[in-house]
């Protein structure tokens, strides 16, 4: 059983890509940046000491799953969601949906996705993909990170869907249930921007939003004390590049994709200030990219002394300052 | 970022980057991963050295096999306990090489599922000769070896089949 007429498309990010694919399949012509922006996907969070993580880390997008729920609220679309305690029931329901020609989104632990090269696989419970078919014991998968559809053993998909730990997927699957007759994109875009500004500027938690970027800048100089040795520190510093560029951000920690959203939003809403801010964010993104390249370079060269970490810290503080100004301007532009 | 500045020729790992097109519009571009294209050798070098270091520790009895895998798959102690559904106090014991032997078969099965290895591999490390030296099968990329090690689960949860064969060229 293969879902008919499903059009696989690469996307920058797994969750916004999955939602975009399902909406497109249902007949809604919407881009990934619009989904990302309306869902207030842009964010920042720094986690210095958290039991779930083996080393300090950061995130550059909102909470996993929130893109879907925000899109539902703001566009008026409806997804049907399922989670399971019993893997057998989880598989039966998925198979039934595929039998009914319904492409189905799934949340999985990336580690068990055997089609991914082993060096890329990490335990992260918030990877999203679309299951588009099943033949014998293999599922056909539309994973936004791959140019073509891929196949995955049923056993691996089950392991991925029912992995335990932080943000455990609990077999979660979802599919498009209903599209509204009319969508007020203007209202949805402004709400999406407004919430993004709130989370970046006003959320009263010291490690989130702009304050999170500053905390990252302050704490990154302490990273050596968490590392086993120089090689480990080098690996973790180089992961800054991966988290900003490679783990499905569209480049510069989602800043390039959000700039694309603002450019499209300017046309839809007729607010030219959004186009100007879009160009400004593209430049801000270039600064994040410099951080990515700097991290990769000092990591590779094992040039990880206090002076280099201080330099990295200053670059992060600088991003916090420019983003604070940017999000204040953005907040004003939609009033 | 301009389109031409963002392009990286690395077919092994493709991704979408949002860039400024020639007409001034922003949009997606399919490209290769910059870090993989430029720094993969360094990543592999570090990973191999880490595995060798951990292997030396586990074979000398300085760490337990659970700790060996926990570090290799980059899990924290708490996250391992949550994923394996084993109490933290028990995991703490199993990380200690002297107390690893107190783990039950059921607990080992749970750990093996988290690490995605057969249970047998918690008591052995498979080494494959590649480019003149032995390397762990756990971190070896299949393309780098002429030997293929296939391990499949049987209907008996405690028994796996290991098949070692030359790759067809």
Per-window interface: A 164-223 vs B, CB < 8 A? 164-166, 168
* pLDDT in the model for residue B53: 96
Neighbours of B90 (CB within 10 A): 16
CATH number for the segment(s) B37-166: 1.10.260.40
Look up the CATH architecture of domain A14-178.
Alpha-Beta Complex (3.90)
Higher pLDDT, A106 or B157: A106
DSSP assigned state of A145: T
Strand pairing partners for A59?
A45
Using the predicted structure, report yes or no on whether residue B130 has a pLDDT greater than 80: no
Tokens of A220: 């990154």
Work out the average pLDDT over A112-121. Answer: 89
pLDDT band at residue A1, thresholds of 50, 70 and 90? confident
Span B25-54, pLDDT tens digits = 999 999 999 999 999 899 989 999 999 999
Span A56-84, pLDDT tens digits = 999 999 999 999 999 999 999 999 999 99
Contacts 24+ apart (CB under 8 A), B104-107: B105/B158
Span A83-96, pLDDT tens digits = 999 999 999 999 99
Span A122-164, pLDDT tens digits = 999 999 999 999 999 999 999 999 999 999 999 999 999 999 9
Test A282 with B1 for CB contact under 8 angstroms: yes
Per-window interface: B 97-116 vs A, CB < 8 A? 113-114, 116
- Residue A268 parent element (H or E): helix A255-269
Question: Considering Cα of A270, then A272, then A276, then A279, what sign does the dihedral take?
Answer: positive
* pLDDT in the model for residue B149: 82
Q: CB-based contacts of B96: which residues, under 8 Å, 6+ apart?
A: B64
Q: Which residues of B touch A242 (CB under 8 A)?
A: 35
In degrees and rounded to multiples of 5, residue A108 shows phi and psi of -140, 165
Domain spans of chain A?
A: 14-178, 210-333
Chain B residue with the nearest C-alpha to that of A13: B16
Using the predicted structure, report yes or no on whether residue B152 has a pLDDT greater than 90: no
Task: Give me the percent of chain B exceeding a pLDDT of 70.
Answer: 95
Span B134-150, pLDDT tens digits = 888 777 664 556 777 88
Tokens 């980057």 locate to B17
Work out the average pLDDT over A18-22. Answer: 98
Tell whether A297 is within 8 A of chain B (Cβ): no
Tell whether A250 is within 8 A of chain B (Cβ): yes
Domain spans of chain B?
A: 3-32, 37-166
Neighbours of A106 (CB within 10 A): 24
Test B20 with A296 for CB contact under 8 angstroms: no
Q: Which residues of A touch B42 (CB under 8 A)?
A: 234, 238, 299-300
Work out the average pLDDT over A269-283. Answer: 97
Per-window interface: A 124-143 vs B, CB < 8 A? none
Mean pLDDT of chain A: 96
* pLDDT in the model for residue A216: 98
Mean pLDDT of chain B: 91
Least confident of A48-52, A166-170, A175-179, A288-292: A48-52
- Nearest by CB to residue B76, choosing from A11, A51, A282, is A51
Neighbours of B149 (CB within 10 A): 15
Q: CB-based contacts of B134: which residues, under 8 Å, 6+ apart?
A: B127, B128
Q: CB-based contacts of B147: which residues, under 8 Å, 6+ apart?
A: B128, B129, B130, B164, B165, B166, B167
* CB contact at 8 A, B64 and B58: yes
Work out the average pLDDT over A185-196. Answer: 98
pLDDT band at residue A255, thresholds of 50, 70 and 90? very high
- Helix, strand, coil percent content, chain B, rounded in steps of 5: 45, 20, 35
Q: Which residues of A touch B73 (CB under 8 A)?
A: 111, 122-123
* pLDDT in the model for residue A118: 82
């Amino acid at each position: 059983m293969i879902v008919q007429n499903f059009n696989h498309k690469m996307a920058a990010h797994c969750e916004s890509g999955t939602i975009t694919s399902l909406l497109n399949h249902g007949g809604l012509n919407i881009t990934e940046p619009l989904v990302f922006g309306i869902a207030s996907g842009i964010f920042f969070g720094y986690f210095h000491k958290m039991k779930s993580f083996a080393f300090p880390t950061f995130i550059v997008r909102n909470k996993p799953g929130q893109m879907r729920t925000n899109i539902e609220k703001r566009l008026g679309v409806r997804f049907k969601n399922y989670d399971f305690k019993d893997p057998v029931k989880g598989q039966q329901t998925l198979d039934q949906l595929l039998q009914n020609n319904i492409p189905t989104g799934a949340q999985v632990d990336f580690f068990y996705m055997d089609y991914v090269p082993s060096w890329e696989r990490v335990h992260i419970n918030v990877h999203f993909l679309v299951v588009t078919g099943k033949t014998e014991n293999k599922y056909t998968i539309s994973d936004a990170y791959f140019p073509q559809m891929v196949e995955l053993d049923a056993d691996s998909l089950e392991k991925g869907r029912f992995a335990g730990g932080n943000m455990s997927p609990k077999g979660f699957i979802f599919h498009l249930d209903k599209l509204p007759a009319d969508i007020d994109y203007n209202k949805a875009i402004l709400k999406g921007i407004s919430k993004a500004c709130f989370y970046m500027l006003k959320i009263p938690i010291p490690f989130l939003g702009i304050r999170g970027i500053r905390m990252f800048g302050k704490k990154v100089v302490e990273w050596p004390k968490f590392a086993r040795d120089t090689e480990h520190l080098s690996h973790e510093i180089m992961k800054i590049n991966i988290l900003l560029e490679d783990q499905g951000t569209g480049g510069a920690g989602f800043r390039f994709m959000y700039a694309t959203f603002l450019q499209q939003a300017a046309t839809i809403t007729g607010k030219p200030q959004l186009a100007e801010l879009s160009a400004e964010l593209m430049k801000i993104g270039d600064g994040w990219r410099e951080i990515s390249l700097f991290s990769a370079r000092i990591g590779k060269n094992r040039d990880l002394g206090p002076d280099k970490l201080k330099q990295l810290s200053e670059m992060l503080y600088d991003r916090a300052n420019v983003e604070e100004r940017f999000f204040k301007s953005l907040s004003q532009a939609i009033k | 970022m301009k389109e031409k500045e963002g392009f990286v020729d690395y077919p092994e790992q493709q991704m979408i980057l949002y860039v400024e097109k020639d007409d001034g519009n922003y949009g997606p571009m399919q490209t290769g991963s910059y870090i993989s294209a430029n720094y993969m050798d360094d990543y592999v070098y570090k990973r191999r050295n880490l595995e060798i270091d951990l292997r030396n520790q586990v074979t000398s009895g300085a760490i337990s096999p659970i700790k060996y895998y926990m570090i290799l798959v980059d899990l924290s102690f708490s996250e391992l306990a949550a994923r394996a559904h084993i109490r933290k106090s028990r995991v703490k014991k199993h990380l200690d090489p002297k107390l690893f032997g107190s783990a039950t078969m059921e607990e080992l099965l749970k750990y093996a599922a988290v690490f995605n290895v057969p249970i047998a591999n918690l008591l052995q490390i498979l080494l494959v000769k590649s480019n003149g030296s032995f390397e762990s099968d756990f971190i070896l990329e299949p393309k780098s070896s002429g030997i293929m090690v296939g391990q499949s689960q049987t209907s008996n949860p405690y028994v796996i089949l290991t098949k070692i064969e030359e790759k067809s060229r």
